Structure 1
Amino acid sequence: MLSFCCVAILLASCSRKKDTFINRNFHAMGTYYNILYNGNIALENGRETVDNAATDNYWELLPIERMQVKEDAFMPGQAKNQDFERAEEKAIKAVQKHGMNIKGKEFNPQIDEAYLLLGKSRYFDQRFVPALEAFNYILYKYPASDKINTAKVWREKTNIRLENNALAIQNLKELIEDEVLEDQDMADANAILAQAYINTKSKDSALTKLVIAAEFTKKNREQARFNYIIGQLYNEFGKIDSANIAFDKIIDMHRKIPRPYYINAHLAKAANFDTIGGDRMAFEEYLADLEEDRENRPFLDKIFYRIAEYHRGNKHDSLAVAYYNKSLRTNLGDKELRSRDYETLGNMNFDIAEYKLAGAYYDSTMTNLTINSKPFRVIERKRENLEDVIRYEDIARANDSILNLVSLSEADQLAFFTEHTNELKAIAAAEAEKAEAEVRRNTGLQSASNTIQTARIEPSTRGGAPGKQTFYFYNPTTVAYGKNEFVKIWGDRELKDNWRLSDTKSSTFQAIEEQEITTNASEDKRFDPEFYIAQIPSDQKVLDSLARERNFAYYQLGAIYKEKFSEYQLARERLEQLLKNDPEERLILPSKYNLYKIYMELGLAQKAEMTKTDIINNYPDSRYAQILLNPNSGLDQDENSPERLYDGLYKKFGDQDYEEVIAKTEEYINRFAGDPMVPKFEILKASAKGRLFGFEAYKTGVNYIALTYPNTEEGKKADEILKTAIPILAMKEFKPNDEAKHFNVLYPFSSDEKENIPEFIKKLEEAVAKVDYFDLTTSIDVYDQNTIFVVVHGLTSAQGASGFAELLKENKQKIKRQFCAISSPNYEIVQRHKNLSNYLEFQ
Structure 2
Amino acid sequence: MKLKIRISLTTNTVNLRQVAFWALLLSVLISSCSTKKNTFTRRAYHNLTAHYNAYWNGNESLKEGAADLRKNAKDNYASVLQIYNYGTESNAQTINPNMDRAIEKASKVIQRHSMFFDKKEHVKWVIRSYMLIGKANFYKQDYNAARRAFEYVNRQYNYDPVSFEARLWLGKTYKQQKQYDKAVTILDELNKESAQTLLPWVVRKELPLVYADMYIAQGKLNLAREQIEKAIPLNSNAKLKTRLNYILAQIYQTEGKDSRAGEYFTKVLKSPASFEMAFNARINLARVYNANTGDKKLIIRELEKMLRDMKNKDFQDQIYYALADIALKDKNDTLGISHLRKSVASSFSNDYQKSISSLRLADIYFAGKDYRNARAYYDTTLMSLPKDFPDAEKIETKTEILTRLVENLQIVHIQDSLQHMAALPEAERLAIIDKAIAEYTRKEEERKKREEEERLQEMAGASLQTRQIVDPTRGTSALGGGGWYFYNPTAISMGFSEFTRKWGRRRLEDNWRLSNKREVMSDQFAEDGSELMPADSLAGGKDGGKGGADFKSRDTYLKGLPFTPESIEASNQQIATALFNAGIIYLEELFDKNRAAEVLSQLNTRFPENESALQANYHLYRINRDLGNEAEMNRYKDAIISNYPDSDYAKILIDPNYNLELEAAMNRVRSLYEETYLAFNRGQYRTAIIYSNDALANYQDETLTPKFAFIRAVSLGKTENQDTMRVELNKLVTEYPGSDIVDFARRLLGESSPGASSSGIPAKEEEEKTEKPLDLSMYKFNPGATHFYALIVDGASVNVYGTKVRISDFNTKNYSVEGLQVNSVLLDNSRQMITISSFNELDKAMKYFNGIKEDTYVFSGIKEGTFEQFLISAENYPVFFKEKNTAAYKQFFEKNYLKK
Q: TM range, normalised to the smaller chain? A: 0.5 to 0.7
Comparing 217-226 and 195-204, the one that deviates more: 195-204
Partner of residue 417, structure 2: 401
Is the 8 Å Cα contact of residues 327 and 341 (structure 1) preserved in structure 2?
yes
The one-letter code sitting in structure 2 at the alignment partner of 1:169 is L
Deviation for aligned residue 1:216: 0.8
Partner of residue 656, structure 1: 693
1:282 paired residue among 291, 298, 304? 298
What's the CA shift string for 1:89-123, capped at 9, x where partnerless?
Answer: 33344455555667776665655544544443344
Deviation for aligned residue 1:579: 3.8
Partner of residue 739, structure 2: 701
Partner of residue 44, structure 1: 63
Distance 2:665 2:412 in 1: 33
The one-letter code sitting in structure 2 at the alignment partner of 1:46 is G
> For residues 137 and 696 of structure 1, do their structure 2 counterparts lie closer, same or farther at Cα, with a shift above 3 Å needed?
same
Is the 8 Å Cα contact of residues 215 and 221 (structure 2) preserved in structure 1?
yes
Q: TM-score scaled to structure 1, two decimals?
A: 0.61
Partner of residue 89, structure 1: 104
Superposed, which structure 2 residues align to 1:671-820 within 5 Å?
Answer: 681-682=702-703, 684-685=705-706, 688=709, 692-693=728-729, 701-702=739-740, 724-725=767-768, 727=770
Partner of residue 210, structure 2: 192
Deviation for aligned residue 1:308: 3.9
Instruction: Please say if 1:226 is aligned against 2:248.
Output: no
What's the CA shift string for 1:442-477, capped at 9, x where partnerless?
Answer: 789xx9xxxxxxxxxxxxxxxxxxxxxxxxxxxxxx
What's the CA shift string for 1:501-547, capped at 9, x where partnerless?
Answer: 78xx99xx995354769878997x9555x885676434323323332
Instruction: Please say if 1:423 is aligned against 2:461.
Output: no
Superposed, which structure 2 residues align to 1:288-307 within 5 Å?
Answer: 288-307=304-323
Superposed, which structure 2 residues align to 1:254-653 within 5 Å?
Answer: 256-275=272-291, 278-312=294-328, 314=330, 316=332, 319-328=335-344, 331=347, 334-351=350-367, 353=369, 355=371, 358-369=374-385, 375-408=391-424, 410=425, 413-429=426-442, 431-432=444-445, 435=448, 500=529, 512-514=538-540, 526-528=552-554, 536-584=561-609, 587-588=612-613, 590-592=615-617, 594-595=619-620, 598=623, 605=629, 609=631, 612-613=634-635, 616=638, 619-620=641-642, 634=656, 637=659
The one-letter code sitting in structure 1 at the alignment partner of 2:596 is A
Deviation for aligned residue 1:211: 1.7
Distance 1:719 1:45 in 2: 64
> For residues 635 and 208 of structure 1, do their structure 2 counterparts lie closer, same or farther at Cα, with a shift above 3 Å needed?
same
Distance 2:626 2:368 in 1: 19
Deviation for aligned residue 1:45: 1.0
Deviation for aligned residue 1:44: 0.5
**Secondary structure, counterpart of 1:584 in structure 2:** coil
Distance 1:83 1:728 in 2: 51
Distance 1:719 1:220 in 2: 71
Pair member with larger Rg: 1
Q: TM-score scaled to structure 2, two decimals?
A: 0.57
Is the 8 Å Cα contact of residues 190 and 212 (structure 1) preserved in structure 2?
yes
Is the 8 Å Cα contact of residues 167 and 186 (structure 2) preserved in structure 1?
no
> For residues 103 and 308 of structure 1, do their structure 2 counterparts lie closer, same or farther at Cα, with a shift above 3 Å needed?
same
Is the 8 Å Cα contact of residues 373 and 529 (structure 2) preserved in structure 1?
no
> For residues 405 and 553 of structure 1, do their structure 2 counterparts lie closer, same or farther at Cα, with a shift above 3 Å needed?
same
**Secondary structure, counterpart of 1:186 in structure 2:** helix
What's the CA shift string for 1:401-459, capped at 9, x where partnerless?
Answer: 23333444x3xx42132132133135325534764787699789xx9xxxxxxxxxxxx
> For residues 98 and 703 of structure 1, do their structure 2 counterparts lie closer, same or farther at Cα, with a shift above 3 Å needed?
same
Is the 8 Å Cα contact of residues 308 and 321 (structure 1) preserved in structure 2?
yes
> For residues 696 and 376 of structure 1, do their structure 2 counterparts lie closer, same or farther at Cα, with a shift above 3 Å needed?
farther
Deviation for aligned residue 1:168: 0.9
Distance 1:100 1:519 in 2: 79
What's the CA shift string for 1:695-754, capped at 9, x where partnerless?
Answer: 97889632999xxxxxxxxx9xx999676426499xxxxxxxxxxxxxxxxxxxxxxxxx
> For residues 283 and 587 of structure 1, do their structure 2 counterparts lie closer, same or farther at Cα, with a shift above 3 Å needed?
same
1:168 paired residue among 158, 170, 186? 186
**Secondary structure, counterpart of 2:562 in structure 1:** coil
Distance 1:115 1:565 in 2: 58
> For residues 30 and 574 of structure 1, do their structure 2 counterparts lie closer, same or farther at Cα, with a shift above 3 Å needed?
same
Distance 1:689 1:360 in 2: 45
Distance 1:160 1:578 in 2: 57
Deviation for aligned residue 1:377: 2.8
Is the 8 Å Cα contact of residues 395 and 549 (structure 1) preserved in structure 2?
yes
Is the 8 Å Cα contact of residues 176 and 189 (structure 1) preserved in structure 2?
no
Instruction: Please say if 1:179 is aligned against 2:219.
Output: no
Partner of residue 234, structure 2: 216
Distance 1:379 1:104 in 2: 59
Q: Percent identity?
A: 21
Instruction: Please say if 1:249 is aligned against 2:267.
Output: yes
Deviation for aligned residue 1:177: 1.6
Distance 2:339 2:23 in 1: 77
> For residues 699 and 241 of structure 1, do their structure 2 counterparts lie closer, same or farther at Cα, with a shift above 3 Å needed?
farther
Comparing 194-203 and 263-272, the one that deviates more: 194-203
Distance 2:539 2:294 in 1: 50
> For residues 574 and 215 of structure 1, do their structure 2 counterparts lie closer, same or farther at Cα, with a shift above 3 Å needed?
same
**Bigger RCO of structures 1 and 2 (CA < 8 A, at least 6 apart):** 2
Deviation for aligned residue 1:499: 8.3
What's the CA shift string for 1:41-87, capped at 9, x where partnerless?
Answer: 1110121233345444444454433225859999xxxx982222222
Deviation for aligned residue 1:388: 4.0
Distance 2:646 2:285 in 1: 56
Distance 2:119 2:547 in 1: 93
> For residues 178 and 622 of structure 1, do their structure 2 counterparts lie closer, same or farther at Cα, with a shift above 3 Å needed?
same
Q: Which runs of 5+ in 2 are unaligned?
A: 1-13, 461-521, 677-690, 714-727, 744-754, 756-760, 773-900
The one-letter code sitting in structure 2 at the alignment partner of 1:185 is V
> For residues 124 and 387 of structure 1, do their structure 2 counterparts lie closer, same or farther at Cα, with a shift above 3 Å needed?
closer
> For residues 390 and 280 of structure 1, do their structure 2 counterparts lie closer, same or farther at Cα, with a shift above 3 Å needed?
same
- Number of aligned residues: 639
What's the CA shift string for 1:540-595, capped at 9, x where partnerless?
Answer: 23323332332333233233323322334433432343344252165556545544
Comparing 265-274 and 38-47, the one that deviates more: 265-274
Is the 8 Å Cα contact of residues 258 and 290 (structure 2) preserved in structure 1?
no
Is the 8 Å Cα contact of residues 82 and 213 (structure 2) preserved in structure 1?
yes
Distance 2:451 2:91 in 1: 53
What's the CA shift string for 1:657-705, capped at 9, x where partnerless?
Answer: 888899x66xxxxxxxxxxxxxxx3464566478553697889632999
Is the 8 Å Cα contact of residues 422 and 429 (structure 2) preserved in structure 1?
no
Distance 1:131 1:324 in 2: 45
Distance 1:439 1:501 in 2: 30
